Structure 1
Amino acid sequence: MKTKRDTAEEMIVVDSEEEQEELDEINEPANKKLKGEKNVPAKRKADKAAFLAKFVGNAVPKAEAVQRWGHRYPSKSAKKAERRKTSEDPGAEETEGSVECAAHYLQALVDNVSYKLGDCVTINSDGGSDYLGRIIEFFKAVDGSLWLCAQWFFRAEDTAIGKDEAQKHDPKRIFYSEVKDDNPLECITGKIKVVQVSPMKNFNKLKRSIPACDYYFDMGYNYAYSTYFNLTADAGSTCSDESSTICDDVNATAANSDQKSDSEATCEKNSVSKYQLSLLDLYAGCGGMSTGLCMGASLACVNLVTRWAVDLNENACKSLRYNHPETEVRNEAAEDFLALLKEWQKLCQKYREPEDSLDFKADKKSKNSDASDVTKKEESEDESETVEPGEYEVEKVIGIRWVGSSENSKKGLEFKVRWKGYDEDEDTWEPTDGLESCQERIRDFVIEGRNKKVLPLPGDVDVICGGPPCQGASGFNRFRNKIAPLDDPRNHQMVVYMDIVDFLKPRFLVMENVVDILKFCGGVLGRYALSRLVNMHYQAKLGLMVAGCYGLPQFRMRVFLWGACPNEKLPPFPLPTHDVVIRGNIPADWERNVVAYDETQHPLLQKALVLGDAISDLPAVENSERRDEMDYQKAAKTEFQRYIRAPKEVLTGGTPLTSKKQKQKLLDHRPLELNIDDNQRTCKIPKRKGANFRDLEGVFVRPDNTVELDQQAERVYLPSGKPLVPDYAISFMKGRSLKPFGRLWWDETVPTVVGRAEPHNQIILHPEQDRVLTIRENARLQGFPDYYKLFGPVKERYVQVGNAVALPVARAQGYALGLAIQQQCPPGDLVMELPQKFPQSMMSALQNSNPTNNHNELAIDVEEQCC
């Protein structure tokens, strides 16, 4: 972080010629406008007392100085190279340590205040707050100017959190950084006390003891990927004792306490259970993100299982439930789910042990007073006979929910009841106030549900994933609330997501969203998400990832936000495996967040995938295709196709199928059936690369590449009487668009798979068939394996696929998560390289390590059966 430099010439007022001469001798170069130099702050003009900025004591011996600060004493060859670079490129920035050094010192005097190495100080910046830093060097340049090098601390407002969100943070909390900067010695404005405290490891501890100080830090911050990370215990050890200390009383408090947080207890349990982790998928859709994460984690030998999933779309829940029978899928709003979790926690506390219930004690006492089993049976029979006509008896409670978002329902807790003597299809939802006489049935349900973990409690969830919808930030929304974005109900799910994280306290979380959350209103939604995590004492990092970089024929850039609790390792972002050119409008403030190799690196990447790599093996179907299952008819042609057609047991790393003769069907290979008019238009689009509505009769292309109707020709109409070229195609994007009725081609990459299949304003026509891409073709572009079956009307299935997280991206992150859980990532790494030929190479390694699971042979046999 560079301090702002003064541009106006300012002089220091002194009281005597002696003071002026001494000041001139010490700061002679101060009036020579050196690059990077800062003039004496103007506020000191009013101070009539003598002002001195000088080094105190002898210079550090040259040999020792070269050893400690070698970059300040370049060799002759390095000096020559630097001069050559400057002459060739006068505008080139100077490298670190380019202020040529004559000598180093250990102490200095500024404004009659003594400073030494390691002191924490404030450094003046014009027009704003002073910067906070730690002195790591005092040195004199060869021209006689006096300098210090400071290692900066960041306030919350100096980080990606931003000024608005920073107001919600403790103003005394700052963030350690490795950023260093040279400043003239006279820029020091004061000394401060900064302490390092241990991270907030116990989430249940509302407050922690902070010693007397001006500022404290418990996290570091890195510009790259806006990363907030845990520090080693000695991060502040180079601070002087007077200005900095390391406080361990948080750890001491935790060590002296017998009570551990649910999160800590879960971590200890998992450390001896071979990394069996539970995942909660919020806004799950059909389960793309959680499926990919679990697949990736299994490649890292971590058993991550989606235990719970929540989504408001009923058909998406059906798809997820079918493909993940091990998952408790809840079809409800996320805010209702959160309210339910809070009520569930109260019920579990109430019925923690059966004896804790007063109703249960009374019931038990009554039963113990019975004379015999025969008497109890007769009494029970008598009670059943006393049920009045028209009354119903509760056999058992089988479900629980919170009703809150429905306008036609009363808010509150409801139980699903199985009535004695009635079939399952006559089960009903009943409010709690109507079940006051059924406390024993409720107690039984709660105790059994807690044991089976039908709902998560704090400490039960290891990983939370999800993509809260933020339609209020979308660039397609003309009515966005730019004044109070988080008050917009369409953005409120971001708040709900973080509220659920705050309640459940998972070990890890990952959130996905569109890039618009970083564009809209200065990235307010993205900054809010980072701010909430850091305020909850989670480590956090944010990255922009491109789906095509991980082996898909679509571009699709999305935002991913990781969080990890303080005693965990923050997963690194996996670097690209495929050579895809980054395109699209990346917000300037977030350019450092794009997950990509450095420009100086030259990695060996696989060739970018194109449309033909993904779908060229699929059978031809008509616009009117109605079948949901069919045979493949053709063998796989590419490595991508062979992988995507593999059975579930192969891709998830489970046990192979018991029979190699099982024939695998192709699912969901049917298109949205276009109406007669659109189908007729589609049939007239030429089957060649780049073809679209402009190739239809009656369209004139102007020299500026915009279109209009050909005024010299008679307009062509369809048999229905509608024009062949619709008006909306001409007017779309003011006549500049190439998208309406656009035909894809085999060697192209799709921009982004969306949830709509109409060809009116997107390029979605098959290269050689007169139809839009099928559900299965879209699913392949998203990386869904062919075994993944979808439910609901055709349009609904397109929506499920388009809204999902691209599986290869989630799989790569799941692999990084698995390594982080096992502490196999080098500390401090923000990114990591995936193994060559990932994930196929990892699957082969796992299969070869277990000779009983001959997955390769199975995959080949199944493919032969399909063909």
Structure 2
Amino acid sequence: MTLEAKSKIIEESDFYYDMSYSLACSTFANMPADIGIATGSEATSDISSDDVDSSKEKPNDDLVSPPDAQMKTAALLDLYSGCGAMSTGLCLGAALSGIKLITRWAVDLNTHACSSLKHNHPFTQVRNEKAENFLSLIREWNTLCKKFDVHKSISLSSDLPRTSNENEEYGNEPLLKGTFEVERLVDICYGDPNSMGKVGLWFKVRWRTFDPSEDTWEPVGGLSDSPDCIKEFVQNGYRESILPLPGCVDVICGGPPCQGISGFNRFRESEAPLNDERNKQLVVFMDIVNYLRPKYVLMENVVDILKFADGFLGRYALSRLVAMSYQARLGMMVAGCYGLPQFRMRAFLWGALPSVVLPKYPLPTHDVVKRGLVPRAFMHCLVAYKENEYRHLEKALVLGDAISDLPKVGNHQPNDVMEYSIKPKTEFQHYIRLNRQDMKDYSHGDVTPKEGQLFDHQPLQLNRDDYERVQKIPIKKGANFRDLKGVRVGKNNTVEFVPDIPQVVLSSGKPLVPSYAMTFNKGKSLKPFGRLWWDETVATVVTRAEPHNQIILHPTQHRVLTIRENARLQGFPDYYRLLGPIKEKYIQVGNAVAVPVARALGYSLGLAYQGKFHGDQSLFKLPGNFIPIDHATETRVASLGASKGEVVETE
């Protein structure tokens, strides 16, 4: 329907709507074709109560992905990207559906996370800056592109001139002493890069006769004598898509931080959450969506967004999308349901333009050890099977399924690259060791990195006192500080010191059992210096590796879990390498979206992108063999002797 025709109908109607609403996953979607247009009291919506788009007797047919040459391409912008787990998973899943989704741009404030993303996605334009500055930048960039009419100039000439010292007539002419001449512009940003209190548009300048290390940031107003340099930079930047423009982005994904809703925050603004500056990134995220108008949006956040203040922020995000004429769908997904040994429930919000198909949520593929509570007001948004519904689920994964093949390392392991010492033992381990090509990861183009290297298998080195304590924690299931000498459990499961046993001290003179362990959670906690076990799962991978108030010790080694072990629990492929100090790597892994969840969502995105979803249901079943191992890879893996579910403890 044309906008003119729609405007006429709205004008003549008492009530008007062009989306249907379904309680299942809080779905706002295009109306089914048989509803049509109704006015006044005639407006009705006949939505099916069945919210699962698949057979209830068996899983869908096995996955058959098309050849790479036949795949359509789509451009993705990853906001609040971290080290890139969400976009990586989306791209892996989309590839299985027949869409080559490419992360073209990424934005994050953490320098180390940006370095990790760039290392693993070398062709991505990665910007280390505030999201609100990025929004201002793309607005300025659009203005510059219009000013220099780059759309027309690029179409007229695909071979624009580039600045080059060798081709410039004045390249060898000496400069007068004290004279500075712009050779070319090499970067652009919006903000205050020189920390001078001057926020605005800046260019990084390469000065003639000076080394690149002497590049400086200069305000756009200070480059009035170099309009040709600005024009050339904009033309080249447009051709290379260094920044997204409205209408050029297919997908935006991201997890805007909302620290103001954290349960650890004693000063939460429950009456007006958006007045809290720590929650403003949600507004910025939606403002960027509104400016760029991508076909699809996927926002991720902690479930507290649906708990705090009666779910105010979750409702706000949903309503912003609908107000921007996006279809929308809200769901809560559990990472363990997609083949990981952790629970980790998160909220995901889909958005889709009216002209495209709204993605559905993939139903679980694995059973899971249940932890955590679902917000009562959003029970209908939980992505799960109904109680009486047929389900075909794989057995829940446990810690041993994920990490039992990794080499033994000590408390101090200085090497961030090492070799595998044994072959994989479980299906999970075979899959997680696949190379980029076998996983259909196109972030390196045609380059296949060296196989057989294990990255980031390093634990946070415990200090001398904590290491002594950990060495005394028994190697058994359920062991923790309560097993240390001099501690006993009294009434109401509360710990206390044994009165007639002298306090044991460490070699430093400090007590073996620290006071914080005895008083944590009023003496009822089992977490301080807790040891994990092979047949257990974790509640969620966290950003810290200290054992003082969490269960993070290796089952049989006297250390905390390594970065790679945490990455395995998040579903990162082993080829995914992290950069930065060890503590920063833990933060990157802990903040990431679980890759298998993102991969399942990426598959759904690809199907919707190609218009393969039908009906108004909100859920669908993934193919029976969703782990993407093609026939050649399957043959190679089988030759190694994989044993399904086999777990062997590593000493």
What is the TM-score normalised by the length of structure 2? 0.88
Q: In structure 2, the residue corresponding to 1:215 is in which secondary structure?
A: coil
User: For 1:651, which of 439, 446, 463 is the aligned residue?
Assistant: 439
Say whether residues 1:314 and 2:89 are aligned partners.
no
Match for 1:231: what amino acid?
M
Gaps of 5+ in 1: 1-197, 247-271, 357-376, 849-853
Report the Cα distance in structure 2 between the residues aligned to 1:454 and 1:682, rounded to whole angstroms.
Answer: 49
Q: Is the 8 A contact 2:107 2:128 kept in 1?
A: yes
Matched, 1:593 2:381: yes
In 2, are the aligned partners of 1:199 and 1:537 still within 8 Å (CA)?
no
- Distance (Å, rounded) in 2 between the aligned partners of 1:520 and 1:319: 32
Alignment of 1:523 with 2:311, yes or no, is yes
CA–CA distance in structure 1, aligned partners of residues 92 and 261 of structure 2 = 31
Residue matched to 1:287: 84
Q: 1:755 to 1:242 in 2, by over 3 A?
A: closer
**Greater strand proportion:** 1
Counterpart pick for 1:750 among 522, 533, 538? 538
Q: Which of 108, 112, 126 is matched with 1:329 structurally?
A: 126
- Deviations 1:557-598 (Å, cap 9, x if unpaired)? 000000000011111100000011443121110111110001
* Contact map agreement 2:337 2:364 (CA 8 A) in 1: yes
- Alpha-carbon distance in structure 1 between the residues aligned to 2:452 and 2:307: 44
Q: Taking structure 1 as reference, are residues 446 and 858 closer, same or farther at Cα in structure 2, changes over 3 Å only? A: farther
CA RMSD of aligned residues (A): 2.9
1:466 offset after TM fit, Å?
Answer: 0.5
What corresponds to 1:635 in structure 2?
A: 423
Structure 1 residues 435 and 773: CA distance shift in structure 2, 3 A: same
Counterpart of 1:106 in structure 2 is none
**TM superposition shift of 1:427:** 1.5
Q: Return closer, same or farther for 1:388/1:273 CA change in 2, 3 Å cut-off.
A: farther
2:51 counterpart of 1:230: no
| 1:330 alignment partner AA | R
- Give the whole-Å Cα distance in 2 for the aligned partners of 1:282 and 1:788: 19
Instruction: Check conservation: 2:137, 2:190, Cα contact below 8 A.
Output: yes
Q: Name structure 2 gaps, 5 residues minimum.
A: 45-68, 154-166, 643-651
**Superposition pairs for residues 169-318 of structure 1, below 5 Å?**
210-236=10-36, 243-244=41-42, 274-318=71-115
Larger Rg: 1
Cα 1:413/1:657, change in 2 over 3 Å: closer
Counterpart Cα distance in 1 of 2:528 and 2:214 = 50
SS of residue in 1 equivalent to 2:549: coil
TM-score (norm 1): 0.67
Q: Match of 1:494?
A: 282
Deviation of 1:405 (Å): 8.9
Matches within 5 A, 1:551-566: 551-566=339-354
Please give the per-residue CA displacement for 1:742-782, whole angstroms capped at 9, x wherever unaligned.
Answer: 00000001110011000011100000000000000000000
Q: Quick one: distance in 1 between partners of 2:144 and 2:371?
A: 52
Aligned with 1:403 (options 161, 169, 191): 191
| Structure 2 CA distance for aligned equivalents of residues 661 and 729 of structure 1 | 45
Shift of 1:714: 1.7
1:615 to partner: Cα distance: 0.2
Q: How do 1:460-859 residues align onto structure 2 when only pairs under 5 Å count?
A: 460-652=248-440, 663-840=451-628, 843-844=629-630, 848=631, 854-856=632-634
Q: Distance in 2 between matches of 1:742 and 1:200?
A: 62
In 2 relative to 1, CA 406–529 (structure 1 residues): closer, same or farther, beyond 3 Å? farther
Q: CA deviation at 1:208?
A: 8.0
Distance (Å, rounded) in 2 between the aligned partners of 1:351 and 1:600: 62
Is the Cα contact below 8 Å between 2:13 and 2:40 reproduced in 1?
A: no
Summarize the Cα distance change of 1:388–1:802 in structure 2 as closer, same or farther, 3 Å threshold.
same
After superposition, give the CA deviation of every residue in 1:366-405 in whole Å (9 maximum; x if it has no partner): xxxxxxxxxxx99x659956x5421211111111000159
Give per-residue Cα distances to partners, 1:112-160, cap 9 Å, x unaligned. Answer: xxxxxxxxxxxxxxxxxxxxxxxxxxxxxxxxxxxxxxxxxxxxxxxxx
Structure 2 counterpart of 1:741, which letter?
F
Aligned partners of 2:436 and 2:448 also within 8 Å: no
Do the aligned partners of 2:335 and 2:343 also contact (CA within 8 Å) in 1?
yes
1:250-309 CA-to-partner distances (Å, cap 9, x unmatched) read: xxxxxxxxxxxxxxxxxxxxxx99531000000000000000000000000111000000
Separation of aligned partners in 2, 1:501 and 1:276: 20
Instruction: Report SS of the residue matched to 1:779.
Output: helix
| Equivalent in 203, 224, 239 of residue 451 of structure 1 | 239
Q: C-alpha distance in 2, partners of 1:655/1:501?
A: 24
Q: What letter is aligned with 2:90?
A: L
CA drift of 1:710 comes to: 2.2
Task: Say yes or no: does 1:339 pair with 2:339.
Answer: no
Paired with 1:610 and 1:308, the residues of 2 have a C-alpha distance of 35
Residues 339, 751 of structure 1: alpha-carbon distance in 2 compared, 3 angstrom cutoff: same
Q: Which amino acid aligns with 2:94?
A: A
The C-alpha deviation readout for 1:220-244, integer Å capped at 9, x for no partner, is 101111110111354146x5x8854
Alpha-carbon distance change, 814 to 785 in structure 1, aligned in 2, over 3 angstroms: same
- Pair 584,201 (structure 1): closer, same or farther in 2 beyond 3 Å: farther
C-alpha deviation, 1:815, in angstroms:
0.4
Q: Which residue does the alignment assign to 2:62?
A: none
How far, CA to CA, are the matches of 1:242 and 1:533 in structure 2? 25
Q: Output the amino acid matched with 1:449.
A: G
- 3-state SS in 2 of match to 1:429: strand
CA offsets 1:71-103 (integer angstroms, 9 cap, x no match)? xxxxxxxxxxxxxxxxxxxxxxxxxxxxxxxxx
Distance 1:242 1:769 in 2: 70
User: Structure 2 vs 1, CA of residues 354 and 664 (structure 1 numbering), >3 Å: closer, same or farther?
Assistant: closer
Alpha-carbon distance, 1:214 to partner: 2.6
Q: Which runs of 4+ in 1 moved over 3 A?
A: 198-202, 241-246, 353-356, 380-385, 404-409, 653-663, 854-864
Separation in structure 1 between the aligned mates of residue 422 and residue 379 of structure 2, nearest angstrom: 44
SS at match of 1:751: coil
